[in-house]
Amino acid sequence: MLTRKQLELLDFIQKRMDHDGVPPSFDEMKEALDLRSKSGIHRLITALEERGFIRRLAHRARAIEIVKLPEAMERSRAAAAAEPAAFTPRVIEGDRVDPPAGAMSVAAMHSMEVPVMGRIAAGVPIEAISEVSHHIAVPGSMLSGRGQHYALEVKGDSMIEAGINDGDIVVIREQSTAENGDIVVALVEGAEATLKRFRRKGGMIALEAANPAYETRMLPDHAVKVQGRLVGLIRSY
């Protein structure tokens, strides 16, 4: 038997998956259930998984699959499906979300071209960026301030709760320093490049993911070289 909160969460996940094709984020679950922190959601998710109602897939954002529903919820779902509903076309692609409220078309703005230097890992680090693959038009407002700029294609999902999806293009201002909380391109031990949130803790550097499936990496100061700071993001829909 499920508790009231467990039922509420399972019902919320099922309805969002029926409507959007993907599960809600942990922040959305927390708000829907009016909980103070995501730790409560983690406990509810674990309880639902242990009881066989859902299944989680490792190292994937929002990777929740509904295995079964309580009988009462199944009957309610079947009754709702039998009712005629107005057709609303929509496009669903993986974990991608609706455009932000302030999103603007690049074509409608003054833009400049910057080099795309290949891919950057938002997940397991990949090889360091070294070559220009092509150029991309970037709104001039993203390029304010001094310094050179370049762009990178994001590979992975470790920054998804910061609004950065697999396949996005991030615009980076080239610089070698960062403030705590900045999202940076970090070169790790001269061989691996990754996109993470930067925090200095004494003589150590924390490279934080924005996805609970990934752990924070703690590295000695000398092992991390900042190659640039995130100043913008471009997404195609």
The rounded average pLDDT for each run of 10 residues, N- to C-terminus, in the chain (237 residues) is 84 83 82 83 85 74 76 69 49 46 54 78 58 75 74 88 89 92 91 91 93 91 93 81
What is the C-alpha to C-alpha distance for residues 186 and 169, in angstroms, rounded to an integer? 16
SS3 (DSSP) at 48 = helix
Domain spans of the chain, in order of start: 4-82, 110-234
Please report the pLDDT score of residue 221 as a whole number.
94
Predicted TM-score (pTM) above 0.75: no
What is the C-alpha to C-alpha distance for residues 161 and 164, in angstroms, rounded to an integer? 7
Please report the pLDDT score of residue 5 as a whole number.
87
Catalytic machinery residues:
158, 196
Say which CATH architecture domain 4-82 belongs to: Orthogonal Bundle (1.10)
Please report the pLDDT score of residue 108 as a whole number.
47
Q: Which CATH homologous superfamily contains domain 110-234? A: Umud Fragment, subunit A (2.10.109.10)
Please report the pLDDT score of residue 91 as a whole number.
39
